[in-house]
Structure 1
Amino acid sequence: MTITAGTTRAPKGVGAEPRQPAVVPPEGDNGSRPRGGPRPSGRRRYLRRETVAARAALRRRYWATLPARLRFLRAVTVSLTAALALLLLLAGQAATGTWDSVADRDAPRTTSAADLNLALNDMDAQAANILLSSGNAGQGRLVTPYDKAIGFYGAARREIGHDLRALAVAAQGDRADERTVESLTDGFAEYQELLGRALENDGHNGGKAAALADYRRATDLLQQHLLPDARALVESNDRAFDGRYARARSGLSAQLVAVLALGALLLAVLGLLQWCLARRFHRVLNPGVLAATVCTLVAVVLGAQLLSSSAADLRVARRDAFDSVVALSRARAVAYDANADESRYLLDPERRDRYARSFLAKSQQLYGVKGATPGTYDDGLAATWKAYRDDRNDLRFTGEFRRELDNITFPGERAAAEKTVDAFAVYQRDDRTIRALLAAGKEHEAAEFCMGWEPGTSNAHFGEWMAALDQVTGVNQAHFDSSVRQGRSAVGVLLPWAGGLLLAAAALTALGLRPRLAEFR
């Protein structure tokens, strides 16, 4: 048998070496590996590939399939709804706290300090009127002025005690105000003692000189210590109120922006959810998601209205109304002090020049006429006031009345403010009459005209002036109270509606998606 050379095949499974598959190194690897494992660069690439794979798996699980996308959008919708509801709840609580602070603390503290300032001036004026009208131990007494002065003196003293107690409570926690109230309380006790001695001495025959000496010490204490402290309390409380107002307005603005941004994001997610449903199920709209979108839109509008109206009401309460209340309260306190200067002028001949200058300075505080003297003030007042009545943009004068006329906001306020200045001008002319009578040697007639309450006398005109001032103050106080009520009402009405609509939106979204998700089970 001849054996032919050539290629022979071994039987399968017999004598054949098993073929090993080729080992392909990872991309960028030449196949050689150092001892201890893969090179660092290879490990990083391996970890990167694992991360990408994990992310891909998450996408497939939470987004790649339609049920996953629907569940994800449902979770986002509920989360945004809860966040928006929480934001509105916190904003509503903050607004409620602001209104409570404004109505129950900030405004009362400021007005109490202003009332204290006024009551101190009134008490001192009535003490001067008592001494001026009492005669000599009751002989030659001006009965009506004396009786009225006694009544007003007691009322002013009670008002001061009430205001000091209120301010002591309000000052707790503010060490500077606490010290001021303590100083006022101690000073007022000394002041009462001096006035008490003056009135006691005045009751004795020939005791007028001793009474006047005690009254001088009392009024000096008032002017140098008590009134500056009272005015400092007015300014301190007003500044604190203004600071809280600015912070509250800033907070409301920031909350409004956040509500609008969060609401727009929630509406966008609901729109995307509606689009996904329409594309997959070939339906134009999903009723549940549509209803949730409408509820969300209305809730966002109500929340924005709540915050914007709160900011507007707060501005009206503080800037339009309370700024005028403070200015007019200061004006009233200054008016009572000026009225006291007239009585002091008649009571104390040695200090008449001093009290005349003081009366002019206080008149300038109320209605400032540039360069005016006691002899030229009336003409300056008449000229500048006529210029204003001809052109209401012509405000050449300064002072508290100018501050009020610059802040006219409400119906009826301008007429009341102009009436106040007209009454002030009449009272100023009465002061010249008093001085003219005194210069003519008619001291008794001057005192009767100064303290009389019959029509046409100085006190009667002063009462008309204060009634006009009270009227314009009342206009502003009424609008302050109205703004507080509206602000509180907006929170109480709009916040529950907005919160309820957001809860309904979350529930409607879940109900709208439930039958669609059930199709995939």
Structure 2
Amino acid sequence: MSVPTQLAPAAVKSGHTGPSQLRPAESAPVETPGRAARIRGRLTTPRLYALVAAGLVLVGLAAGTAAVAAVQDRSGLIQNVSGVSGPLSVDAQTLYRELADADATAATAFLSDGGESAVLRSRYLDDIAQASAALTVALQYAEDERDTESLRLVADRLPVYTGLVETARSYQRLGVPLGGAYLREASGLMQQTVLPEAAKLFESAQARVAAEQDAAARFPWAAALLGLVAVGALISAQVLVARRSRRILNPGLVAATLATVLALLWSVVALSASAGRLETGERDGSALVSLLANAGRASLQARANESLTLVARGGGAAFEKDFAGRMDELIGTDGRGGLFERAIAQAPVADRPLISQARDETIRWRELHQQVRVQDDGGDYDKAVELATATTEDALPAVFARVDGALTEALATANRRVDRQANSADGALRGLTAGLVLLTVGMVAAVVLGFRPRIEEYR
């Protein structure tokens, strides 16, 4: 006899029986895996190694590319300083100096008794020839439109100036007083139009040299940070592999880390050395060049105005005033605070005796000039001209020649220093680009070789 199965009270009450009548709320809950769990399930150790290796390769390539780009950029700037901006600056200096010296020489020659001397005539013609040559070369180097306009203006006005000088010489040989008027007009054209345009070119070239030196001396922060990121990523990868494989060191990752560290250190040391040499070239070279070039400009214009004051025969008050202003610019009102003092403070110790000599001779020049003025203002014009054109070693022309010679030599030394420091800075980067490329390739290869055996262990 079978025993009936006891029904649940709810089922008996409703008149229905069987499991199909259970309410959904009474079904057993089913757990679904979360997204993170699914990713972890799919990210097996071989796949993790492959992703890490790919990431390291990308970071290493980015760091290497940034370092190579930084080196190439700085090398290009340095070569531009020594190959374009620097030569343009030197040509601008030559152009200005030769033009100013031609003006001073023409004025001095006009005072010579019995007509101009052959020496002064030769010097004047040589100045014009060298200025023309420098003008031609500067036009080839000039890249800025404003520089080109200045050079073209000089080229247009120079024949006008030389024509006025030749007219003045012709009248002088004939004994016609009108020659002095033509000479003053020529000097006015030179000092008010031609020389200011030449000065603009020099200032523009010097500004470009300084800007390129500054840009080339900047530290490559982006490349350095990427290099540090690459080193940090490699160290983290070694920690990961050590924990998963229970091996303390991975030879491939160790080699990749060493290659990256070597590339980073080499880059930092080479770029820092290059920057230091550029800074030295800017401080002891470019900045000093500007001061010495300005001193040379002031001294030559002072000499021209000194002669033109006598040429004017009592009508040269404006020239005398300009002469006094140039002297104040050079040595200050009390012998202090002028261009010479600033140049001595700026110059390396080895250059200071030469600049000090130019300063001391300029002080002596001003004293001799006062003697000339005493004679001229006192009515003894012939005596004043004699003092201004004497040929003895302690006379005014010889003193000016020593000033000009010392400044020319000091300026040439400073220009050579700029070029030498630029070449030295470029030499500090020599071989770095090829080394970075090889080290970057080596780093990538070492990463691949380091992870490949670990990935194959799971196949």
TM-score by length of 2: 0.87
Matching residue within 266, 273, 286 for 1:302: 266
* AA in 2 matched with 1:401: F
Distance in 2 (CA, whole Å) between partners of 1:403 and 1:337 is 20
Does residue 100 in structure 1 map to residue 79 in structure 2? Answer: yes
Judged with a 3 Å threshold, the aligned counterparts in structure 2 of structure 1 residues 244 and 20 are, in CA distance, closer, same or farther, namely: farther
Aligned equivalent of 1:430, options 368, 392, 398: 368
Q: Distance in 1 between matches of 2:64 and 2:338?
A: 49
Question: Alpha-carbon deviation of 1:202?
Answer: 2.5
Taking the aligned partners of 1:315 and 1:489, their CA distance within structure 2 comes to 15
Matched, 1:190 2:160: yes
User: Which whole-Å deviations, capped at 9, do the CAs of 1:245-265 have from their partners, x for residues lacking one?
Assistant: 55555xx33xx2222221221
C-alpha separation in 2, matches of 1:212 and 1:105? 41
Q: CA deviation at 1:7?
A: 5.0
Aligned partner of 1:270 in structure 2 is 234
Cα RMSD, aligned residues only: 3.1
Alignment match, 1:219: 187
Q: Distance in 1 between matches of 2:28 and 2:134?
A: 88
Q: Secondary structure at the match of 1:350?
A: coil
Q: Which runs of 4+ in 1 moved over 6 A?
A: 24-28
Residue correspondence of structure 1 range 143-158 to structure 2 within 5 A: 146-158=117-129
> Which amino acid counterpart does residue 295 of structure 1 have in structure 2?
A
Deviations 1:51-85 (Å, cap 9, x if unpaired)?
x63x65444444xx332232222112211111111
Note the 1:178-327 alignment, pairs <5 A: 178-204=148-174, 206-207=175-176, 209-249=177-217, 252-253=218-219, 256-327=220-291
Unaligned runs of 5+ in 1: 10-15, 29-48, 370-379, 382-396
How many angstroms apart in 2 are the aligned matches of 1:25 and 1:468? 109
Rate the CA distance shift 1:355–1:286 in 2: closer, same or farther, 3 A: same
- 1:414 Cα shift? 2.8
**1:283/1:438 CA distance change after superposition, 3 Å:** same
- C-alpha distance in structure 1 between counterparts of 2:141 and 2:186, whole Å: 27
> Aligned partners of 1:286 and 1:178: how far apart in 2?
62
Which residue identity lines up with residue 103 of structure 2 in the other structure?
Answer: D
Q: Equivalents in 2 of 1:163, 1:25: separation in Å?
A: 102
Q: Secondary structure at the match of 1:412?
A: helix
Q: Which moved more, 1:234-243 or 1:421-430?
A: 234-243
User: Counterpart in 2 of 1:519?
Assistant: 457
Write out aligned runs for 1:342-491 (5 A): 342-369=306-333, 380-381=334-335, 397-408=336-347, 410-438=348-376, 443-444=381-382, 446-491=384-429
Query: What amino acid sits opposite 1:405 in the alignment?
Result: I
* Per-residue deviation, 1:229: 2.4
Deviation sequence 1:426-483 (CA, Å, 0-9, x none): 2222223333454566655543443344422222222222232234324422321222
Q: Which structure ranks higher in relative contact order (CA pairs < 8 Å, sequence separation ≥ 6)? A: 2
Give the CA deviation at 1:180. 2.8
Consecutive unaligned residues of structure 2, counting only runs of 5 or more, are 8-16
Residues of 2 paired with 1:114 and 1:324: CA distance? 13
Does structure 2 conserve the Cα–Cα contact (< 8 Å) formed by 1:405 and 1:414?
A: yes
State the AA in 2 paired with 1:329: A
- Please, which moves more after superposition, 503-512 or 290-299? 503-512
| Pairwise CA distance, 1:353 | 2.5
**1:90-146: CA deviations, max 9, x gaps?**
11121122112222232333343333222222111121222222x4xxxx357xxx1
Q: Structure 1 173/227 Cα, relative in aligned 2: closer, same or farther at 3 Å?
A: closer
CA contact (8 A) 1:341 1:356 kept: yes
Task: State the Cα distance separating 1:276 from its structure 2 match.
Answer: 2.5
User: 3-state SS of the aligned residue for 1:274?
Assistant: helix
Q: Aligned to 2:323, what secondary structure does the other structure show?
A: helix
Q: Structure 1 residues 462 and 8, CA, compared in 2 at 3 Å: closer, same or farther?
A: closer
